[in-house]
Amino acid sequence: MQQVYSTPKSIKKDSTFTFCAGCDHGLAIKLVAEVLDELNLRENTIAVASSGCSVFLYDFLDVDCIESPHGRACAVATGIKRAHRALNEEKFVFTYQGDGDFASIGLSESLHSALRGENISVICINNTNYGMTGGQMGPTTVLGQHTTTSPNGRNVKYHGYPIKTAEQIALCDGTCFSARVALCDIKNIINAKEQIKKCFEYQKQNLGFSFVEILSSCPTNWKLSPSDSHKKIKEELSEIYPLKVFKDIKEND
């Protein structure tokens, strides 16, 4: 008898995720942990958590974590990376943020980290609202989506257009890798893991700012069942937010 699957070692033993049932945050953290195991980075990693549902990262991942002010995860990660480099220590630094954190409150920090070509990795969870505070309209809320602060649906004249984070980051010259993935079915989960692995490997090779946006479900605030929200990602959201690699500087090699 052979064991073909086990809990990743980078997940703390006996920790239970505190997310809602069916939330893709758990899947994303699991994939990050699996990649950290495969690249053997666990002992050398500093994770930067931010505010939002992603705040609980330090409860689940068995790596060194630091908590940053709302939206400032990229700035904190920059400081950690540069301070350790000044001490001739090479640490692996990644941030784990939500879309409201990365693309709204911390847009300036995030964009300028990408423009500086800061050698950090960023995982951004895009669930099209502010999940933790009760589903308010976020920067990525799609047109027509009903949230608690846009009860008649998001409309262009009043609220403007949603931001497409992965495309914007790909436009920055300091970015080495920018991709958007989803976690709605097995094929996409396998692809997501590959892209996260690539994102982390590029930081190890000192290539610059690497970014993965994960299209994630929020069953509680979308008021759908977990399987229906995966269906929504597959059929509706992936049309608006195309799933592909937008920038890969090693692609032409």
Partner 1 sequence: MSFIEIDNNKCKSCYLCIDVCPFKLIKKSETIGKTGQNIVEFKDENSKCSACKMCAMMCPDIAITKVWKT
Whole-angstrom distance, CA of residue 227 vs CA of residue 211: 27
Q: Is 174 in the site for partner 1 (CB under 8 A)?
A: no
**Residue in this structure with the two tokens 């990376």, named with its chain if needed:** 81
> Which residue(s) pair with 65 in the sheet?
47
**Which listed range, 49-57, 62-70, 168-176, 182-190, lies at the site for partner 1 (CB under 8 A)?**
182-190
Whole-angstrom distance, CA of residue 98 vs CA of residue 127: 8
Number of residues that bind partner 1 (CB under 8 A): 29
Binder of partner 1 out of 10, 26, 94, 120 (CB under 8 A): 26
Q: Tokens for 131?
A: 């999940």
Looking at beta carbons only, is 83 or 190 nearer to partner 1? 190
Q: Is 241 in the site for partner 1 (CB under 8 A)?
A: no
Looking at beta carbons only, is 55 or 137 nearer to partner 1? 55
Q: Is 3 in the site for partner 1 (CB under 8 A)?
A: yes
Cβ atoms 140, 165 nearer than 8 A: yes
* 117 class by beta-carbon count within 10 Å (0-12 exposed, 13-18 middle, 19+ buried): middle
Q: Is 155 in the site for partner 1 (CB under 8 A)?
A: no
User: Which residues here bind partner 1, judged by CB under 8 A?
Assistant: 1-7, 11, 16-17, 19-27, 30, 185-186, 189-190, 219, 225-227, 230
